[in-house]
Chain A
Protein backbone atom coordinates (compact mmCIF):
# COMPACT_ATOMS: atom_id res chain seq x y z
CA UNK A 1 0.00 0.00 0.00
CA UNK A 2 1.36 3.41 -0.98
CA UNK A 3 0.63 6.38 1.24
CA UNK A 4 0.80 9.95 -0.06
CA UNK A 5 0.88 13.06 2.10
CA UNK A 6 -1.94 15.49 1.46
CA UNK A 7 -0.59 18.63 -0.29
CA UNK A 8 -3.74 20.64 0.38
CA UNK A 9 -4.82 22.76 3.31
CA UNK A 10 -6.98 19.82 4.47
CA UNK A 11 -9.85 22.19 5.08
CA UNK A 12 -13.38 21.88 3.79
CA UNK A 13 -15.55 24.83 2.86
CA UNK A 14 -18.36 25.61 5.27
CA UNK A 15 -21.84 26.22 3.99
CA UNK A 16 -23.57 29.33 5.18
CA UNK A 17 -27.18 30.35 4.78
CA UNK A 18 -27.73 33.20 2.37
CA UNK A 19 -29.04 36.35 3.94
CA UNK A 20 -32.77 36.66 3.57
CA UNK A 21 -33.72 38.60 0.46
CA UNK A 22 -35.99 41.62 1.00
CA UNK A 23 -39.31 41.41 -0.78
CA UNK A 24 -39.22 45.10 -1.65
CA UNK A 25 -36.73 47.97 -1.66
CA UNK A 26 -39.15 50.20 0.27
CA UNK A 27 -37.61 51.71 3.39
CA UNK A 28 -34.23 49.98 3.13
CA UNK A 29 -30.77 51.27 2.24
CA UNK A 30 -29.14 50.26 -1.03
CA UNK A 31 -25.35 50.32 -1.25
CA UNK A 32 -23.65 50.86 -4.60
CA UNK A 33 -20.10 49.50 -4.64
CA UNK A 34 -17.64 50.63 -7.28
CA UNK A 35 -14.73 48.19 -7.35
CA UNK A 36 -12.75 50.71 -9.48
CA UNK A 37 -12.92 48.85 -12.74
CA UNK A 38 -12.95 51.21 -15.70
CA UNK A 39 -16.40 52.71 -16.32
CA UNK A 40 -17.94 51.00 -13.29
CA UNK A 41 -18.80 54.51 -12.10
CA UNK A 42 -20.75 55.19 -15.31
CA UNK A 43 -22.90 52.15 -14.65
CA UNK A 44 -23.43 52.98 -10.98
CA UNK A 45 -24.19 56.66 -11.67
CA UNK A 46 -27.04 55.55 -13.89
CA UNK A 47 -28.30 53.00 -11.37
CA UNK A 48 -28.15 55.63 -8.64
CA UNK A 49 -30.12 58.12 -10.74
CA UNK A 50 -32.82 55.51 -11.41
CA UNK A 51 -33.05 54.54 -7.75
CA UNK A 52 -33.13 58.12 -6.46
CA UNK A 53 -35.78 58.94 -9.03
CA UNK A 54 -37.88 56.30 -7.32
CA UNK A 55 -37.06 57.82 -3.89
CA UNK A 56 -34.96 54.92 -2.65
CA UNK A 57 -32.21 55.48 -0.11
CA UNK A 58 -28.79 55.02 -1.73
CA UNK A 59 -25.21 55.07 -0.37
CA UNK A 60 -22.10 55.00 -2.57
CA UNK A 61 -18.91 53.10 -1.76
CA UNK A 62 -15.75 52.31 -3.64
CA UNK A 63 -12.78 49.99 -3.18
CA UNK A 64 -9.31 51.59 -3.34
CA UNK A 65 -8.39 49.29 -6.26
CA UNK A 66 -10.09 46.50 -8.15
CA UNK A 67 -6.98 44.33 -7.84
CA UNK A 68 -7.36 43.77 -4.11
CA UNK A 69 -10.13 42.49 -1.92
CA UNK A 70 -12.17 45.19 -0.19
CA UNK A 71 -10.57 46.36 3.07
CA UNK A 72 -12.23 44.92 6.15
CA UNK A 73 -13.32 48.37 7.39
CA UNK A 74 -15.15 49.00 4.13
CA UNK A 75 -16.87 45.63 4.30
CA UNK A 76 -17.90 46.34 7.87
CA UNK A 77 -19.24 49.78 6.97
CA UNK A 78 -21.29 48.42 4.08
CA UNK A 79 -22.68 45.57 6.17
CA UNK A 80 -23.77 47.89 8.97
CA UNK A 81 -25.22 50.66 6.81
CA UNK A 82 -26.85 48.79 3.95
CA UNK A 83 -29.52 46.17 3.52
CA UNK A 84 -28.64 45.30 -0.06
CA UNK A 85 -25.61 46.01 -2.26
CA UNK A 86 -25.21 46.40 -6.00
CA UNK A 87 -21.64 45.89 -7.17
CA UNK A 88 -20.28 46.98 -10.54
CA UNK A 89 -17.91 44.13 -11.34
CA UNK A 90 -16.51 44.33 -14.82
CA UNK A 91 -15.42 46.83 -17.39
Chain B
Protein backbone atom coordinates (compact mmCIF):
# COMPACT_ATOMS: atom_id res chain seq x y z
CA UNK B 1 0.00 0.00 0.00
CA UNK B 2 1.43 3.34 -1.01
CA UNK B 3 1.43 5.90 1.77
CA UNK B 4 1.90 9.61 1.22
CA UNK B 5 5.21 10.97 2.39
CA UNK B 6 5.25 11.80 6.06
CA UNK B 7 4.42 10.07 9.31
CA UNK B 8 1.93 7.31 10.01
CA UNK B 9 0.87 6.30 13.52
CA UNK B 10 -1.18 3.16 14.14
CA UNK B 11 -2.99 3.07 17.48
CA UNK B 12 -5.96 1.57 19.27
CA UNK B 13 -8.04 2.82 22.17
CA UNK B 14 -7.72 -0.51 23.92
CA UNK B 15 -3.96 0.02 24.36
CA UNK B 16 -2.92 1.91 27.56
CA UNK B 17 0.31 3.09 25.92
CA UNK B 18 -1.68 4.55 23.03
CA UNK B 19 -3.94 6.34 25.53
CA UNK B 20 -0.83 7.59 27.36
CA UNK B 21 0.72 9.06 24.21
CA UNK B 22 -2.50 10.65 22.91
CA UNK B 23 -1.22 14.10 24.01
CA UNK B 24 2.02 13.41 22.09
CA UNK B 25 0.02 12.76 18.93
CA UNK B 26 -1.92 15.97 19.51
CA UNK B 27 1.37 17.84 19.95
CA UNK B 28 2.74 16.29 16.74
CA UNK B 29 -0.43 17.22 14.84
CA UNK B 30 0.00 20.78 16.11
CA UNK B 31 3.62 20.96 15.04
CA UNK B 32 3.65 18.79 11.91
CA UNK B 33 0.14 19.34 10.56
CA UNK B 34 -1.16 16.98 7.92
CA UNK B 35 2.15 15.24 7.43
CA UNK B 36 0.97 13.02 10.31
CA UNK B 37 -1.69 10.43 9.53
CA UNK B 38 -3.22 8.50 12.43
CA UNK B 39 -5.08 5.23 12.02
CA UNK B 40 -7.08 3.60 14.82
CA UNK B 41 -7.63 -0.13 14.79
CA UNK B 42 -10.66 -0.12 17.09
CA UNK B 43 -12.23 3.32 17.29
CA UNK B 44 -11.88 6.16 14.79
CA UNK B 45 -13.03 8.64 17.49
CA UNK B 46 -9.75 7.98 19.28
CA UNK B 47 -7.68 9.94 20.15
CA UNK B 48 -10.10 12.74 21.03
CA UNK B 49 -7.14 15.07 21.37
CA UNK B 50 -6.53 14.85 17.62
CA UNK B 51 -10.26 14.87 16.84
CA UNK B 52 -10.15 11.24 16.06
CA UNK B 53 -8.25 9.29 13.44
CA UNK B 54 -8.71 7.43 10.17
CA UNK B 55 -10.78 4.28 10.45
CA UNK B 56 -8.75 1.06 10.23
CA UNK B 57 -11.23 -1.15 12.06
CA UNK B 58 -11.17 -3.51 9.05
CA UNK B 59 -7.38 -3.63 9.59
CA UNK B 60 -6.68 -3.19 5.88
CA UNK B 61 -3.91 -0.64 6.51
CA UNK B 62 -2.54 -2.54 9.50
CA UNK B 63 -2.26 -5.78 7.51
CA UNK B 64 -0.77 -3.95 4.55
CA UNK B 65 1.87 -2.34 6.78
CA UNK B 66 2.43 -5.59 8.66
CA UNK B 67 1.76 -3.99 12.03
CA UNK B 68 2.55 -6.31 14.95
CA UNK B 69 2.14 -3.94 17.92
CA UNK B 70 0.62 -0.57 18.70
CA UNK B 71 1.52 2.21 18.80
CA UNK B 72 3.68 1.91 15.70
CA UNK B 73 5.14 5.04 14.18
CA UNK B 74 6.43 4.96 10.61
CA UNK B 75 7.96 7.48 8.24
CA UNK B 76 7.49 7.28 4.48
CA UNK B 77 9.60 8.97 1.85
CA UNK B 78 8.90 8.69 -1.87
CA UNK B 79 6.29 6.08 -1.05
CA UNK B 80 8.78 3.86 0.75
CA UNK B 81 8.95 3.13 4.45
CA UNK B 82 12.20 4.58 5.75
CA UNK B 83 11.74 4.33 9.53
CA UNK B 84 9.60 2.45 12.05
CA UNK B 85 9.39 2.22 15.82
CA UNK B 86 7.12 0.14 17.99
CA UNK B 87 5.77 1.22 21.42
CA UNK B 88 6.65 4.57 22.96
CA UNK B 89 10.29 5.64 22.99
CA UNK B 90 10.89 9.37 23.21
CA UNK B 91 14.29 9.01 21.62
CA UNK B 92 13.02 7.02 18.64
CA UNK B 93 9.89 9.13 18.14
CA UNK B 94 11.91 12.36 18.19
CA UNK B 95 14.36 10.90 15.74
CA UNK B 96 11.66 9.75 13.32
CA UNK B 97 9.67 12.98 13.61
CA UNK B 98 12.74 15.21 13.47
CA UNK B 99 11.52 17.27 16.45
CA UNK B 100 12.57 17.55 20.06
CA UNK B 101 10.83 17.72 23.41
CA UNK B 102 8.15 15.17 22.60
CA UNK B 103 6.11 13.85 25.51
CA UNK B 104 7.75 15.90 28.17
CA UNK B 105 6.61 14.56 31.50
CA UNK B 106 6.12 11.05 30.20
CA UNK B 107 8.39 8.14 30.97
CA UNK B 108 11.05 7.92 28.24
CA UNK B 109 10.01 4.41 27.27
CA UNK B 110 6.93 2.24 27.46
CA UNK B 111 6.17 -0.94 25.50
CA UNK B 112 3.01 -1.10 23.43
CA UNK B 113 0.31 -3.74 23.03
CA UNK B 114 -0.32 -6.40 20.42
CA UNK B 115 -1.83 -5.20 17.17
CA UNK B 116 -5.39 -6.42 16.52
CA UNK B 117 -4.00 -8.11 13.41
CA UNK B 118 -2.26 -10.55 15.75
CA UNK B 119 -5.46 -11.76 17.43
CA UNK B 120 -5.78 -15.45 16.46
CA UNK B 121 -9.35 -15.27 15.14
CA UNK B 122 -8.60 -12.16 13.08
CA UNK B 123 -5.31 -13.50 11.77
CA UNK B 124 -7.06 -16.72 10.73
CA UNK B 125 -9.91 -14.87 9.06
CA UNK B 126 -7.42 -12.72 7.20
CA UNK B 127 -5.40 -15.74 6.09
CA UNK B 128 -8.61 -17.36 4.90
CA UNK B 129 -9.59 -14.22 3.02
CA UNK B 130 -6.18 -14.16 1.35
CA UNK B 131 -6.55 -17.78 0.29
CA UNK B 132 -10.11 -17.19 -0.85
CA UNK B 133 -8.90 -14.35 -3.05
CA UNK B 134 -6.49 -16.77 -4.71
CA UNK B 135 -9.29 -19.14 -5.80
CA UNK B 136 -10.07 -19.14 -9.47
CA UNK B 137 -13.38 -21.00 -9.79
CA UNK B 138 -16.36 -19.11 -11.11
CA UNK B 139 -18.36 -17.51 -8.31
CA UNK B 140 -22.08 -18.04 -8.79
CA UNK B 141 -24.47 -15.58 -7.12
CA UNK B 142 -27.53 -17.09 -5.49
CA UNK B 143 -30.43 -14.66 -5.21
CA UNK B 144 -31.74 -13.54 -1.82
CA UNK B 145 -35.07 -15.21 -2.50
CA UNK B 146 -33.46 -18.39 -3.82
CA UNK B 147 -32.98 -21.48 -1.65
CA UNK B 148 -29.31 -22.31 -2.08
CA UNK B 149 -29.95 -26.04 -1.52
CA UNK B 150 -32.55 -26.10 -4.26
CA UNK B 151 -30.25 -24.01 -6.46
CA UNK B 152 -27.57 -26.69 -6.21
CA UNK B 153 -30.06 -29.41 -7.17
CA UNK B 154 -31.27 -27.26 -10.07
CA UNK B 155 -27.75 -26.89 -11.39
CA UNK B 156 -27.30 -30.65 -11.47
CA UNK B 157 -24.45 -30.76 -8.95
CA UNK B 158 -26.09 -33.29 -6.64
CA UNK B 159 -25.98 -37.07 -6.52
CA UNK B 160 -29.57 -36.92 -5.30
CA UNK B 161 -28.85 -35.98 -1.69
CA UNK B 162 -28.52 -32.43 -0.33
CA UNK B 163 -25.10 -30.80 -0.62
CA UNK B 164 -23.18 -28.46 1.65
CA UNK B 165 -23.07 -25.07 -0.16
CA UNK B 166 -19.49 -24.51 -1.39
CA UNK B 167 -19.00 -20.93 -0.24
CA UNK B 168 -15.62 -19.31 -0.72
CA UNK B 169 -14.96 -19.45 3.01
CA UNK B 170 -15.75 -23.19 3.25
CA UNK B 171 -13.59 -23.97 0.25
CA UNK B 172 -10.72 -21.89 1.63
CA UNK B 173 -11.01 -23.79 4.93
CA UNK B 174 -11.12 -27.10 3.06
CA UNK B 175 -7.87 -26.16 1.34
CA UNK B 176 -6.25 -25.87 4.79
CA UNK B 177 -6.34 -29.67 4.73
CA UNK B 178 -3.56 -29.92 2.17
CA UNK B 179 -0.19 -28.36 1.48
CA UNK B 180 -0.89 -28.44 -2.22
CA UNK B 181 -1.60 -25.25 -4.14
CA UNK B 182 -5.21 -24.75 -5.31
CA UNK B 183 -4.16 -24.67 -8.96
CA UNK B 184 -2.19 -27.94 -8.81
CA UNK B 185 -3.54 -30.55 -11.22
CA UNK B 186 -4.63 -33.71 -9.41
CA UNK B 187 -5.80 -35.81 -12.33
CA UNK B 188 -7.42 -35.80 -15.73
CA UNK B 189 -10.97 -36.84 -14.92
CA UNK B 190 -13.03 -39.01 -17.26
CA UNK B 191 -15.26 -39.17 -19.12
CA UNK B 192 -14.67 -35.63 -20.42
CA UNK B 193 -10.94 -35.88 -19.68
CA UNK B 194 -10.86 -32.61 -17.75
CA UNK B 195 -7.78 -31.45 -15.88
CA UNK B 196 -8.94 -31.29 -12.28
CA UNK B 197 -7.29 -28.91 -9.82
CA UNK B 198 -6.93 -29.28 -6.06
CA UNK B 199 -9.44 -26.42 -5.83
CA UNK B 200 -12.11 -28.31 -7.78
CA UNK B 201 -11.60 -31.37 -5.60
CA UNK B 202 -11.91 -29.14 -2.52
CA UNK B 203 -15.19 -27.64 -3.77
CA UNK B 204 -16.67 -31.08 -4.32
CA UNK B 205 -15.31 -32.26 -0.96
CA UNK B 206 -17.11 -29.35 0.72
CA UNK B 207 -20.34 -30.29 -1.04
CA UNK B 208 -19.92 -33.94 -0.01
CA UNK B 209 -19.63 -32.88 3.63
CA UNK B 210 -15.91 -33.59 4.15
CA UNK B 211 -13.80 -32.03 6.88
CA UNK B 212 -10.54 -30.41 5.73
CA UNK B 213 -8.44 -33.22 7.22
CA UNK B 214 -10.12 -35.71 4.84
CA UNK B 215 -8.93 -33.78 1.79
CA UNK B 216 -5.59 -35.61 1.34
CA UNK B 217 -7.50 -38.91 1.20
CA UNK B 218 -9.95 -37.52 -1.34
CA UNK B 219 -7.10 -36.16 -3.46
CA UNK B 220 -5.36 -39.55 -3.47
CA UNK B 221 -8.64 -41.32 -4.26
CA UNK B 222 -9.29 -39.02 -7.21
CA UNK B 223 -5.76 -39.50 -8.49
CA UNK B 224 -5.92 -43.29 -8.17
CA UNK B 225 -9.34 -43.45 -9.83
CA UNK B 226 -8.23 -41.47 -12.83
CA UNK B 227 -5.28 -43.66 -13.72
CA UNK B 228 -5.28 -45.56 -16.99
CA UNK B 229 -4.91 -48.76 -14.94
CA UNK B 230 -8.07 -48.21 -12.95
CA UNK B 231 -10.04 -47.21 -16.05
CA UNK B 232 -12.69 -45.01 -14.49
CA UNK B 233 -14.12 -44.20 -17.90
CA UNK B 234 -14.93 -47.83 -18.60
CA UNK B 235 -16.20 -48.38 -15.09
CA UNK B 236 -18.56 -45.47 -15.52
CA UNK B 237 -19.71 -46.52 -18.96
CA UNK B 238 -20.35 -50.16 -18.14
CA UNK B 239 -23.85 -51.52 -17.81
CA UNK B 240 -22.51 -53.55 -14.86
CA UNK B 241 -23.13 -52.64 -11.20
CA UNK B 242 -19.67 -51.55 -10.14
CA UNK B 243 -18.36 -48.22 -8.97
CA UNK B 244 -15.20 -47.06 -7.22
CA UNK B 245 -14.71 -48.48 -3.71
CA UNK B 246 -12.19 -46.63 -1.53
CA UNK B 247 -10.17 -48.52 1.08
CA UNK B 248 -8.01 -46.45 3.44
CA UNK B 249 -4.91 -47.80 5.17
CA UNK B 250 -2.35 -46.35 7.56
CA UNK B 251 -2.47 -44.11 10.63
CA UNK B 252 -4.55 -41.45 8.87
CA UNK B 253 -7.66 -43.59 9.09
CA UNK B 254 -7.62 -43.25 12.89
CA UNK B 255 -6.47 -39.63 12.80
CA UNK B 256 -9.48 -38.55 10.79
CA UNK B 257 -11.83 -40.85 12.68
CA UNK B 258 -12.72 -43.42 10.04
CA UNK B 259 -14.70 -46.51 10.92
CA UNK B 260 -13.13 -49.93 10.41
CA UNK B 261 -15.23 -51.60 13.11
CA UNK B 262 -18.93 -52.10 13.74
CA UNK B 263 -20.91 -51.36 10.55
CA UNK B 264 -17.68 -50.40 8.72
CA UNK B 265 -19.39 -50.73 5.34
CA UNK B 266 -22.57 -49.04 6.52
CA UNK B 267 -23.85 -45.62 7.46
CA UNK B 268 -23.01 -43.38 10.37
CA UNK B 269 -19.38 -42.30 10.01
CA UNK B 270 -18.71 -38.92 8.48
CA UNK B 271 -15.29 -39.72 7.00
CA UNK B 272 -16.36 -43.03 5.48
CA UNK B 273 -19.52 -41.47 4.09
CA UNK B 274 -18.14 -38.26 2.68
CA UNK B 275 -14.78 -39.34 1.22
CA UNK B 276 -16.46 -41.84 -1.09
CA UNK B 277 -19.14 -39.31 -1.92
CA UNK B 278 -16.60 -36.60 -2.72
CA UNK B 279 -14.89 -38.89 -5.24
CA UNK B 280 -18.22 -39.57 -6.97
CA UNK B 281 -19.06 -35.85 -7.03
CA UNK B 282 -15.71 -35.06 -8.69
CA UNK B 283 -16.47 -37.62 -11.38
CA UNK B 284 -19.97 -36.22 -11.79
CA UNK B 285 -19.22 -32.50 -11.73
CA UNK B 286 -15.67 -32.20 -13.04
CA UNK B 287 -15.55 -35.24 -15.31
CA UNK B 288 -19.16 -34.95 -16.45
CA UNK B 289 -19.96 -38.60 -15.69
CA UNK B 290 -23.67 -38.86 -14.96
CA UNK B 291 -26.20 -41.67 -14.85
CA UNK B 292 -28.00 -41.87 -18.16
CA UNK B 293 -25.12 -39.99 -19.78
CA UNK B 294 -21.85 -41.90 -19.89
CA UNK B 295 -22.90 -43.92 -16.81
CA UNK B 296 -24.97 -46.66 -18.43
CA UNK B 297 -25.44 -48.99 -15.44
CA UNK B 298 -28.43 -51.27 -15.89
CA UNK B 299 -29.20 -51.26 -12.17
CA UNK B 300 -26.24 -49.67 -10.41
CA UNK B 301 -25.96 -50.16 -6.67
CA UNK B 302 -26.30 -47.98 -3.55
CA UNK B 303 -22.52 -47.92 -3.06
CA UNK B 304 -22.33 -45.57 -6.01
CA UNK B 305 -23.44 -42.78 -3.66
CA UNK B 306 -20.42 -43.55 -1.54
CA UNK B 307 -18.38 -46.65 -0.70
CA UNK B 308 -15.39 -46.06 1.52
CA UNK B 309 -14.05 -47.77 4.61
CA UNK B 310 -10.88 -48.27 6.61
CA UNK B 311 -9.23 -51.60 7.36
CA UNK B 312 -8.30 -52.83 10.82
CA UNK B 313 -4.57 -52.30 11.13
CA UNK B 314 -1.95 -54.15 13.10
CA UNK B 315 -3.17 -57.75 12.79
CA UNK B 316 -0.94 -60.64 11.78
CA UNK B 317 -2.58 -60.59 8.33
CA UNK B 318 -1.61 -57.00 7.53
CA UNK B 319 -3.68 -54.97 5.10
CA UNK B 320 -4.22 -54.56 1.38
CA UNK B 321 -1.57 -51.83 1.43
CA UNK B 322 1.03 -53.84 3.33
CA UNK B 323 0.44 -56.83 1.04
CA UNK B 324 1.29 -54.48 -1.81
CA UNK B 325 4.56 -53.38 -0.23
CA UNK B 326 3.53 -50.28 1.71
CA UNK B 327 4.82 -49.89 5.26
CA UNK B 328 2.25 -49.96 8.09
CA UNK B 329 3.17 -46.34 8.90
CA UNK B 330 2.44 -45.21 5.36
CA UNK B 331 -0.99 -43.82 4.54
CA UNK B 332 -2.42 -45.36 1.41
CA UNK B 333 -5.64 -45.47 -0.49
CA UNK B 334 -6.79 -48.34 -2.68
CA UNK B 335 -9.45 -48.00 -5.34
CA UNK B 336 -11.34 -51.11 -6.35
CA UNK B 337 -14.12 -51.41 -8.92
CA UNK B 338 -16.77 -52.99 -6.72
CA UNK B 339 -20.43 -53.93 -6.87
CA UNK B 340 -22.62 -54.56 -3.84
CA UNK B 341 -21.85 -56.36 -0.60
CA UNK B 342 -22.96 -59.96 -0.09
CA UNK B 343 -22.65 -61.87 3.14
CA UNK B 344 -20.62 -64.99 3.86
CA UNK B 345 -22.28 -66.82 6.72
CA UNK B 346 -20.25 -69.42 8.57
CA UNK B 347 -21.05 -69.66 12.26
CA UNK B 348 -19.93 -73.24 12.71
CA UNK B 349 -16.43 -73.60 11.27
CA UNK B 350 -13.76 -73.59 13.95
CA UNK B 351 -10.88 -74.69 11.76
CA UNK B 352 -9.19 -72.70 9.00
CA UNK B 353 -9.72 -75.59 6.59
CA UNK B 354 -13.49 -75.64 7.01
CA UNK B 355 -13.82 -71.86 6.96
CA UNK B 356 -11.67 -71.60 3.82
CA UNK B 357 -13.92 -74.11 2.04
CA UNK B 358 -16.96 -72.07 3.10
CA UNK B 359 -15.50 -68.85 1.82
CA UNK B 360 -14.43 -70.51 -1.44
CA UNK B 361 -17.95 -71.82 -2.07
CA UNK B 362 -19.32 -68.31 -1.65
CA UNK B 363 -16.61 -66.70 -3.78
CA UNK B 364 -17.39 -69.12 -6.60
CA UNK B 365 -20.77 -67.43 -7.04
CA UNK B 366 -19.19 -64.05 -7.83
CA UNK B 367 -20.87 -62.64 -10.97
CA UNK B 368 -22.10 -66.16 -11.91
CA UNK B 369 -21.15 -69.62 -10.64
CA UNK B 370 -20.17 -70.66 -14.17
CA UNK B 371 -17.94 -67.67 -14.95
CA UNK B 372 -14.20 -67.74 -14.28
CA UNK B 373 -11.18 -65.43 -14.65
CA UNK B 374 -13.05 -62.37 -15.88
CA UNK B 375 -14.57 -60.85 -12.73
CA UNK B 376 -12.56 -59.72 -9.70
CA UNK B 377 -13.70 -59.69 -6.08
CA UNK B 378 -12.77 -58.31 -2.68
CA UNK B 379 -13.15 -60.47 0.38
CA UNK B 380 -13.59 -58.64 3.67
CA UNK B 381 -12.73 -60.91 6.58
CA UNK B 382 -14.38 -60.05 9.89
CA UNK B 383 -12.52 -60.17 13.24
CA UNK B 384 -14.25 -63.38 14.40
CA UNK B 385 -13.43 -65.15 11.15
CA UNK B 386 -9.85 -63.87 11.25
CA UNK B 387 -9.58 -65.28 14.78
CA UNK B 388 -10.32 -68.77 13.43
CA UNK B 389 -7.41 -68.42 11.01
CA UNK B 390 -5.05 -66.87 13.54
CA UNK B 391 -5.82 -69.51 16.15
CA UNK B 392 -5.20 -72.17 13.52
CA UNK B 393 -1.84 -70.58 12.73
CA UNK B 394 -2.77 -69.55 9.20
CA UNK B 395 -1.11 -66.54 7.64
CA UNK B 396 -2.62 -64.47 4.84
CA UNK B 397 -0.31 -66.26 2.41
CA UNK B 398 -1.30 -69.71 3.66
CA UNK B 399 -4.97 -68.75 3.27
CA UNK B 400 -4.38 -67.45 -0.26
CA UNK B 401 -2.51 -70.61 -1.25
CA UNK B 402 -5.21 -72.93 0.10
CA UNK B 403 -7.99 -70.82 -1.37
CA UNK B 404 -6.42 -70.87 -4.81
CA UNK B 405 -6.73 -74.64 -4.96
CA UNK B 406 -10.38 -74.46 -4.01
CA UNK B 407 -11.17 -71.85 -6.63
CA UNK B 408 -10.26 -73.95 -9.66
CA UNK B 409 -13.20 -74.64 -11.94
CA UNK B 410 -13.59 -77.69 -14.07
CA UNK B 411 -13.96 -76.31 -17.59
CA UNK B 412 -16.48 -78.84 -18.83
CA UNK B 413 -18.83 -78.29 -15.90
CA UNK B 414 -18.73 -74.57 -16.53
CA UNK B 415 -18.89 -74.37 -20.31
CA UNK B 416 -21.75 -72.68 -22.09
CA UNK B 417 -24.83 -74.88 -22.04
CA UNK B 418 -23.55 -77.21 -19.35
CA UNK B 419 -25.90 -77.87 -16.41
CA UNK B 420 -28.63 -76.70 -18.83
CA UNK B 421 -27.51 -73.08 -18.42
CA UNK B 422 -26.41 -71.16 -21.50
CA UNK B 423 -24.20 -68.75 -19.53
CA UNK B 424 -20.71 -70.07 -18.97
CA UNK B 425 -17.18 -70.30 -20.30
CA UNK B 426 -16.38 -70.79 -24.00
CA UNK B 427 -16.52 -74.38 -25.21
CA UNK B 428 -12.84 -74.34 -26.23
CA UNK B 429 -11.84 -74.02 -22.56
CA UNK B 430 -13.82 -77.06 -21.47
CA UNK B 431 -10.75 -79.27 -21.14
CA UNK B 432 -9.02 -76.80 -18.81
CA UNK B 433 -8.97 -76.11 -15.12
CA UNK B 434 -9.97 -72.45 -14.82
CA UNK B 435 -9.10 -70.23 -11.86
CA UNK B 436 -12.15 -68.34 -10.61
CA UNK B 437 -10.01 -65.24 -10.25
CA UNK B 438 -7.10 -64.00 -12.32
CA UNK B 439 -3.82 -63.26 -10.56
CA UNK B 440 -4.32 -60.08 -8.48
CA UNK B 441 -8.04 -60.51 -9.02
CA UNK B 442 -8.91 -61.19 -5.37
CA UNK B 443 -8.33 -58.52 -2.74
CA UNK B 444 -8.41 -59.47 0.92
CA UNK B 445 -9.35 -56.81 3.45
CA UNK B 446 -10.01 -56.96 7.18
CA UNK B 447 -12.73 -54.93 8.87
CA UNK B 448 -15.87 -55.19 10.95
CA UNK B 449 -17.18 -55.35 14.48
CA UNK B 450 -15.90 -57.80 17.06
CA UNK B 451 -19.03 -59.94 17.10
CA UNK B 452 -20.37 -61.91 14.16
CA UNK B 453 -19.06 -64.93 12.32
CA UNK B 454 -19.79 -63.22 9.01
CA UNK B 455 -17.46 -61.98 6.33
CA UNK B 456 -18.33 -60.15 3.14
CA UNK B 457 -17.69 -60.40 -0.57
CA UNK B 458 -17.72 -57.33 -2.75
CA UNK B 459 -17.90 -58.53 -6.32
CA UNK B 460 -15.69 -56.68 -8.76
CA UNK B 461 -15.84 -55.84 -12.41
CA UNK B 462 -13.93 -57.16 -15.41
CA UNK B 463 -10.40 -57.31 -14.07
CA UNK B 464 -6.93 -56.38 -15.25
CA UNK B 465 -6.02 -54.82 -18.57
CA UNK B 466 -9.36 -55.91 -20.04
CA UNK B 467 -11.21 -53.81 -17.50
CA UNK B 468 -10.03 -52.35 -14.23
CA UNK B 469 -6.99 -53.06 -12.09
CA UNK B 470 -7.25 -51.94 -8.48
CA UNK B 471 -4.79 -49.15 -7.70
CA UNK B 472 -3.05 -48.34 -4.41
CA UNK B 473 -1.43 -44.93 -3.95
CA UNK B 474 0.28 -43.28 -1.02
CA UNK B 475 -1.73 -40.45 0.51
CA UNK B 476 0.23 -37.21 0.39
CA UNK B 477 -0.11 -34.06 2.48
Q: Which of chain B's residues have a CB closer than 8 A to the CB of A69?
A: 233-234
Instruction: Indicate whether B447 reaches chain A with its CB closer than 8 angstroms.
Output: no
Q: Taking beta carbons and an 8 Å cutoff, which residues of A are in contact with B? A: 1-11, 64-65, 67-69
Q: A67-B234, A67-B467 are in contact. Are A5 and B143 (CB under 8 A)?
A: no
Contact check, A67 vs B286: say whether CB atoms are below 8 A apart. Answer: no
Instruction: Indicate whether B157 reaches chain A with its CB closer than 8 angstroms.
Output: yes
Contact check, A6 vs B138: say whether CB atoms are below 8 A apart. Answer: yes
**A7 vs B166: C-alpha distance when bound (angstroms):** 8
Instruction: Indicate whether B171 reaches chain A with its CB closer than 8 angstroms.
Output: yes
**A2 vs B168: C-alpha distance when bound (angstroms):** 10
**A11 vs B231: C-alpha distance when bound (angstroms):** 23
Q: Taking beta carbons and an 8 Å cutoff, which residues of B are in contact with A? A: 135, 137-144, 148, 151-152, 157, 165-168, 171, 189, 192, 194, 196, 199-200, 203-204, 207, 231, 233-235, 237-238, 281, 285-288, 462, 465-468
Which residue from B140, B231, B233 sits with its C-beta under 8 Å from A4? B140
18 residue pairs A–B, Cβ–Cβ below 8 Å: A1-B141, A3-B139, A3-B141, A3-B142, A3-B167, A4-B139, A4-B148, A5-B139, A5-B199, A7-B281, A8-B157, A9-B286, A67-B231, A67-B238, A67-B462, A67-B468, A68-B233, A68-B234
Q: Which of chain A's residues have a CB closer than 8 A to the CB of B148?
A: 2, 4
Q: From A91, which residue of chain B is reached at the shortest CB distance?
A: B239
Q: Which of chain B's residues have a CB closer than 8 A to the CB of A5?
A: 135, 137-140, 166-168, 171, 199, 203
**A11 vs B288: C-alpha distance when bound (angstroms):** 10
Question: Could you list 14 further interchain pairs (A-B, Cβ under 8 angstroms) beyond the known A6-B138, A67-B462, A68-B233?
Answer: A2-B148, A5-B135, A5-B166, A5-B171, A6-B140, A7-B157, A7-B285, A67-B237, A67-B238, A67-B466, A67-B467, A67-B468, A68-B231, A68-B234
Which residue from A2, A6, A67 sits with its C-beta under 8 Å from B137? A6
**A4 vs B148: C-alpha distance when bound (angstroms):** 9
Contact check, A7 vs B286: say whether CB atoms are below 8 A apart. Answer: yes
Contact check, B167 vs A1: say whether CB atoms are below 8 A apart. Answer: no
Contact check, B167 vs A4: say whether CB atoms are below 8 A apart. Answer: yes
Which of A3, A6, A8, A68 is packed against the most chain B CB atoms within 10 Å?
A8
